[in-house]
């Protein structure tokens, strides 16, 4: 098997697993969107998955995404790009210009900067609020107990908040974290639930994920440093 087809095999395997998890959860086929996490992988590695029909991708860093996605988008104008990593307010302009979904709205300063940029550019990527369900000090996100207030503040700024995102603690059963995210979304009337990664996306689908973010299971492992976050 050559290197080029490996990520396509990975993609097809993940799609098959998603379909089975949808069936198990008695959810409609196609109700879960696969966000293929392409951070650290170059355009030549990504391209075969685009040729295989994948259209939704996630990246962690604005700069890295700016370097590879404009050229790919020229060939695939219908693709959808998600920002997954923490955003600095001095990158809000680039983020609003490039991404279709910003999954990592995690503090008032960023909410404010995004709202101003959307106003200025007239471009409105939909936004998810990242919740730090495990209250981990090293992890971004709003503490669960502050979620309702923060979501309301974002809506008051005019941000198009459509849902929530979380990254459960690596060493814990993710299920209670996914259930908590679903409950916060429910009581705030939000539909999008971005939860589940390579190791736990089936669990996330059972608990209502609308989007799963899968990198390693498609593209293989990343250099150790870049896989953090």
- Contact residues for ligand PLP (CB under 6 A)? 37, 39, 60, 84-85, 167, 197-199, 213-217, 229
- Report in angstroms how near the CB of residue 199 gets to ligand PLP at its nearest: 6
CB of 88 to ligand PLP, least distance (A): 16
SS3 for the chain is: CCHHHHHHHHHHHHHHHHHHHHHHCCCCCCCCEEEEECCCCCHHHHHHHHHCCCCEEEECCHHHHHHHHHHHHHHCCCCEEEECCCCCHHHHHHHHHHCCEEEEECCHHHHHHHHHHHHHHCCCCEEEEEECCCCCCCCCCECHHHHHHHHHHHHHCCCCEEEEEECCCCCCCCHHHHHHHHHHHHHCCCCEEECCCCCCHHHHHHCCCCEEEECHHHHCCCCCHHHCC
CB-nearer residue toward ligand PLP: 94 or 229: 229
Q: Which is nearer to ligand PLP, 64 or 116 (CB)?
A: 64
Shortest spacing between CB 38 and ligand PLP, in angstroms: 10
**CB of residue 54 to ligand PLP, shortest distance in Å:** 14
Cβ proximity to ligand PLP, 74 vs 225, nearer residue: 225
Least separation in angstroms between CB 61 and ligand PLP:
10
The residue whose Cβ lies closest to ligand PLP is 215
Residue (121 or 221) nearer to ligand PLP, CB: 221
Smaller CB separation from ligand PLP, 117 or 200:
200
């Amino acid at each position: 098997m050559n290197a080029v087809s490996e990520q396509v095999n990975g993609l097809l395997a993940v799609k098959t697993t998603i379909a089975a998890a949808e069936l198990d959860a008695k959810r409609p086929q196609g109700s879960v969107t696969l966000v293929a996490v392409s951070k650290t992988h170059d355009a030549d590695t990504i391209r075969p998955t685009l040729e295989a029909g994948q259209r939704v991708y996630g990246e962690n860093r604005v700069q890295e995404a700016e370097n590879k996605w404009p050229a790919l988008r020229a060939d695939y104008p219908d693709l959808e790009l998600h920002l997954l990593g923490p955003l600095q307010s001095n990158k809000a302009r680039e983020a609003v210009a490039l991404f279709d979904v910003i999954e990592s709205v995690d503090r008032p300063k960023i909410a404010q900067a995004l709202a101003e940029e959307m106003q200025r550019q007239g471009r409105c990527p939909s936004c998810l609020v990242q919740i730090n369900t495990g209250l981990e000090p090293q992890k971004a996100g709003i503490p669960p107990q502050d979620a309702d207030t923060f979501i309301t503040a974002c809506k008051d700024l005019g941000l198009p908040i459509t849902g929530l995102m979380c990254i459960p603690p690596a060493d814990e059963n993710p299920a209670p974290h996914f259930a908590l995210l679903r409950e916060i979304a429910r009581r705030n009337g939000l539909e999008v639930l971005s939860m589940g990664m390579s190791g736990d996306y089936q669990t996330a689908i059972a608990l209502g994920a609308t989007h799963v973010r899968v990198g390693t299971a498609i593209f293989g492992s990343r250099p150790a440093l870049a896989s953090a976050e």
